[in-house]
Amino acid sequence: MRKFLLAVAATLVLGGNALADHFPSHPITIVVPFSAGGPSDAMCRILAERMKITLGEAILVENVTGAGGSIGVGRAVRSPPDGYTVSFGHLGTHVANGAIYKLGYDLVADLEPVALLPSNPMIIVSKNAVPAKSLKELLDWLKARPAPATAGTAGAGSGSHIAGLYFENVTGIKLQYVPYRGTGPALNDLVAGQIDMIVDQLSNSINQVRAGTIRGYAVTDAKRAESASDIPTTDEAGLPGFHMTLWSGLWLPKGTPQDIVAKLNAAAVDALNDPAVRKQLENLGLQMQPKDKL
Ligand code: MLT
């Protein structure tokens, strides 16, 4: 509260511009609302490494997990509007959660958009013990089971949960959801054979699929992922039209001076235009946004 009042006082006395002139003067924190090691965390850490060069200040990534990401977003919403606490999120945390949870904050009124980040196609993956080599065989196996298969998610409203519901809707196959605080730990359990499947973000599962520690059946997009061109699309694999890509973004608490929003946007755009960063993100199967959208 004291920091908040100080920030407000400084804004009043010095004016937003003065604050922006000195921004940043100490490390910035990006709050990732899911576990370390998962897709959101990985994308954020790659961007933060490059954004700190533009901003000339360290960027810390803090994982504040739980309730489908809504707890971490709440932390950022309630932070001082001074640019030092940034909210990372996606379709799940910054849209769907508004319909699922009593958030205690308003996803539109309480947040200032900063940057649109790459999108993640989803991929249908299973543990290796599943006796299926194609999506058709997986669907047959799922339909033949006496009890629903277990599907890992990052909690209600998360991208993997929304994708699971969509999968159920399209296939008519019931799933038994196993919630984690992120798909990072869910993937660990899939590799260990503790759960049967995940409709996961490609960037999270791609390396395990490449390593052969899990099976990848299809990518939920109309076109194959360049970095995983051996994996068919859902159209090719027998689930035509089952398409979903998860867009991500950065936000600040509402009321943050526009100059500061612009500085953080510029740092994110620099990072997304950096060829080395683009290569890292595209290698994970992430789809870069058109430059005019950044
Ligand atoms: C994560 O980083 O764990 C994901 O973004 C979770 C999800 O939404 O599925």
Per-residue pLDDT tens over the stretch 203-238: 999 999 999 999 999 999 999 999 999 999 999 999
For atom 2 of ligand 1, the residue with the nearest CA is 40
Per-residue pLDDT tens over the stretch 172-182: 999 999 999 99
* 214-219 and 149-153 strand pairing: unpaired
Mutate to test the pocket of ligand 1, among 70, 165, 201 (most ligand atoms within 8 A of CB): 201
Query: Tokens 């993997």 map to which residue?
Result: 160
pLDDT > 80? residue 200: yes
The pLDDT score that the predictor gives to residue 194 is 98
Per-residue pLDDT tens over the stretch 49-60: 999 999 999 999
CB of 34 shorter than 6 A to ligand 1:
yes
The pLDDT score that the predictor gives to residue 6 is 56
CB of 65 shorter than 6 A to ligand 1:
no
Query: Tokens 């159209």 map to which residue?
Result: 235
CB of 38 shorter than 6 A to ligand 1:
yes
Q: From residue 135, give the alpha-carbon distance in Å to each of 153, 195, 227, 246.
A: 20, 18, 20, 21
d(CA 122, ligand 1 centre) in Å: 11
Averaged pLDDT for residues 32-61: 98
Grade residue 20 by pLDDT with cuts at 50, 70 and 90.
confident
d(CA 139, ligand 1 centre) in Å: 24
Mutate to test the pocket of ligand 1, among 30, 32, 40 (most ligand atoms within 8 A of CB): 40
> Encoding tokens for residue 285?
């199967």
For atom 5 of ligand 1, the residue with the nearest CA is 40
**80 prior amide bond cis, ω within 30:** no
Give the global pTM.
0.92
Q: Which residues pair with 179 in a beta bridge?
A: 153
CB-based contacts of 294, cutoff 8 Å, min separation 6: 115, 116, 268, 269, 272, 273
The pLDDT score that the predictor gives to residue 293 is 76
Averaged pLDDT for residues 273-277: 96
38 CA closest ligand 1 atom index: 2
The pLDDT score that the predictor gives to residue 16 is 57
CB of 203 shorter than 6 A to ligand 1:
no
Proportion of the chain above pLDDT 90, given as a percent: 91
d(CA 172, ligand 1 centre) in Å: 24
Query: Tokens 């100080």 map to which residue?
Result: 6
> Encoding tokens for residue 287?
């789809």
The pLDDT score that the predictor gives to residue 68 is 97
CB of 253 shorter than 6 A to ligand 1:
no
